[in-house]
Structure 1
């Protein structure tokens, strides 16, 4: 193995170990330093349970960019947490969206009856047109969620988060930074659309802190804003973990 390849493999193993420490033990290590104490979250497992977990001898190959976003999200600042975990899903926006278009166009072109005539060319044009209409970030987020998240598991996780919090964070209508957030129904085929809309709305409030149409502030840093945003973090963290793990591959 060449020196360059060896360094690349070592780098991959190192980042995989950092991710698994953060994911399984809530111990956050960075390349240059270690936090003064392990960073814990509200959904930490009981110490007796987590201490019995066994790590695989060789971790899978994770996407290094995604694990670094995840580790960046393991901080005490809800603003950084939300956006870091959001970036994990955002990484796949174009990959998943374009992949669906390629699949649709391939099925048209690979049809034995395909000819370069108007009906078939119209189908290709329609596919591209539909793709452009679905290229809004909210739709792309929904596509990523469908691609990587199991709907039954997601429903169970939301129910657990609400149970632990003692409040209906998602299953009742509420507001966040001046935006109305609709009630989410925990039923299959009724989850991904409303949830992607909610997440995108909050993300926009953080990134575009002032509404240029209504001329009012949306998000202003502070203790009150942190408390509002903190309730969204457990689900964002869960989604980031599922995406990273399901994108991973076995190490050769």
Structure 2
């Protein structure tokens, strides 16, 4: 079976109405659009023949890793667009002839992914729309293949060395750091998502064209925009938290001012020892209560009614289909829970958000690894689940502090 026939069989398995012909695959796109012909490419046909006859070739679709003899190829993710011109390909070598090549994946990697169950989702999400909406009457066979950026470590020598995969990853990661430091191009080895929860989409466009009546604090809005724009859940969470943190002292001082005013403005006030002791007690008491969790709780309590917090959690968890906030769970070495009940919701939320913030910023080696966050690790997915909660508070505080 050649690649054309194999691809036809793959499309049929995905429910696509298509016909195999000598010079291509014809896809039926309905009565409103003319059929689309997928034409073969000699280069890919040759690669498919080599791929099918290759020995010692294994592909891990979950980890996106292809191993062939002494070659280790893994998917690479570009973390952010570079402000500089970046190379499409990097090749690094050592003094014994081992090499790391970073660029478009090998044909074997693309063909192995085509045969994997992971291709089904990719086809439905990206490729199907591309081919059915295309105004063209013909496309090349490579249109249906996924050719991402990968890093390939090639070991020179006939024998596969001990701990080959572990060493290959180590070398690739070292090369990616060198490229980031010297070429300003930030790449990372792709990691599969761990615990998957279908979070409700909050990025749907909504609203109207009216000019806001309020004037928002531009400094706070800057933190909010950074949070919205960041591709990393940890950095997004931290920027939203900065919105909350921005009002720590303002709320604490306002509370103290009101209590002092209540005492000082008493018409029967006398500057005696008893009154002075009360003033000193108020000020000292305020200082003792000003730990960060208490300050955070005061900010949340000032700007957001607790019943709104309860309503948000209940609605979000209903759409999510899982109690990700209200159920007690272990997060970064500590049990957290936001109980959606009066006199509990805001206090629990403050404690939870502060704990996650600490896990992000405390990277000292005196902490256990499960107690703190490591960027680009599985803990990004854990933090991602709490981003909607901290974003809810940040938005409500911005609204409440506007003038």
Q: Displacement, 1:60?
A: 2.2
Which of the two has greater helix per residue?
A: 1
**Unpaired stretches in structure 2, ≥5 consecutive residues:** 1-198
- Residue 320 (structure 2) aligned to one of 157, 165, 183: 165
Contact in 2 for aligned 1:60/1:248 (Cα 8 Å): yes
Q: Residue 112 of structure 1 aligns with which residue?
A: 267
Q: Displacement, 1:180?
A: 2.1
Show structure 1 runs of 4+ deviating over 4 A.
none
- Residue 44 (structure 1) aligned to one of 177, 202, 210: 202
Q: Describe the shift of the 1:76–1:152 C-alpha distance in structure 2 as closer, same or farther (beyond 3 A).
A: same
Distance in 1 (CA, whole Å) between partners of 2:368 and 2:212 is 52
Alignment of 1:82-161 (within 5 A): 82-161=237-316
Contact in 2 for aligned 1:210/1:219 (Cα 8 Å): no
**Unpaired stretches in structure 1, ≥5 consecutive residues:** 1-40
Contact in 2 for aligned 1:161/1:235 (Cα 8 Å): no
Distance in 2 (CA, whole Å) between partners of 1:104 and 1:134 is 14
Which of the two has greater strand per residue?
A: 2
Over aligned residue pairs, what C-alpha RMSD do you find?
Answer: 1.9
Q: Displacement, 1:188?
A: 1.4
Q: Displacement, 1:126?
A: 1.0
Q: Displacement, 1:117?
A: 0.6
Q: Residue 368 of structure 2 aligns with which residue?
A: 216
Contact in 2 for aligned 1:70/1:240 (Cα 8 Å): yes
Q: Residue 185 of structure 1 aligns with which residue?
A: 339
Contact in 2 for aligned 1:43/1:234 (Cα 8 Å): no
TM-score of the superposed pair, with normalisation by structure 1: 0.75
Q: Which has the higher contact order (CA 8 A, sep 6+)?
A: 1
Q: Pick the structure with greater CA Rg.
A: 2
The number of aligned residues is 203
